[in-house]
Amino acid sequence: MQRLNGWLTAALATLLITLAMTVVMGWFDEGARAKGEVAVMRPEQNNRLTNVNLVDILAEVPLREKLGHAEWNGNVLTLELIVSPGKSRPQSLFSDIGKLTGLAFREVTNIERLLVRISERGEERKTLLAAIDLRRSDAWLEDELQSMAYADPVHDEVWRQRLRLSFTRAWETRFGPVSGFSADALPTPAEAGEPEDVAN
């Protein structure tokens, strides 16, 4: 009988403690709501790249080509785009470069330099086709990043310079010769330092 009284006393004490904790937690919850604080699950803000979130951030970018090697070192992000043999076109490659550039310099705040290698995976080894070197300090990123979607860095020298783009012989074997033109307007004779023809 005494054992039963002990069990009943313990059960009653547990019940009272549980009720008291429920009331106290309700007070804290009401106080938090009154202040506008609500406990919710929030996704972590991925505006800073780390070794922990590198894969998660890169997985969010909808690329046409596959990413190979990815390395985060200090404030430099090095990536490798893997081109499928015979399937890829330069336009899709540079579309992906534009997306990666937007990620690096618009969405993420701590990348100072983006290095991208474009490689082709063969049966036995990878072959480097082109390389790009971009820096947060590049002035054109401020106003021209959106127009990168329409750019033709293979043929436009201005875009090749902006991207610090270099091609290998393997690129020319695969896609043809790299030729250049400049989309910039030609300078006026006065800007070029030449005398203007004045009609009499």
pLDDT tens track for 57-67:
999 999 989 99
pLDDT for the residue 189: 46
Beta bridge partners of residue 85, listed in sequence order:
none
The residue with tokens 């009284």 is 5
For residue 144, being part of any structural domain is answered with yes
Please provide the average confidence, as pLDDT, over all residues in the chain.
Answer: 79
Residues 6+ away with beta carbon under 8 Å from 151: 94, 98, 159
Residues 118-148 have pLDDT tens digits of: 999 887 888 999 999 999 999 999 888 888 8
Element (H, E) at 173: helix 169-175
Q: Is 36 in the same domain as 128?
A: no
In angstroms, what CA-CA distances link 106 with 53, 102, 143?
Answer: 17, 5, 12
pLDDT for the residue 17: 75
- Residue 172: pLDDT above 70? yes
Q: Is 79 in the same domain as 126?
A: yes
Q: Where is pLDDT greater, at 110 or 31?
A: 110
In angstroms, what CA-CA distances link 103 with 96, 106, 148, 158?
Answer: 11, 6, 13, 22
Q: Is 80 in the same domain as 143?
A: yes
- Residue 155: pLDDT above 80? yes
Q: Is 84 in the same domain as 170?
A: yes
Q: Is 64 in the same domain as 36?
A: no
Q: Is 130 in the same domain as 97?
A: yes
Q: Is 102 in the same domain as 157?
A: yes
What is the count of structural domains for the chain?
2
Residue-range definition of the domain harbouring residue 5:
1-40
pLDDT for the residue 27: 64
Q: Is 30 in the same domain as 59?
A: no
For the chain, the farthest-separated pair of C-alpha atoms sits apart, in whole angstroms, at 128
Q: Is 18 in the same domain as 101?
A: no
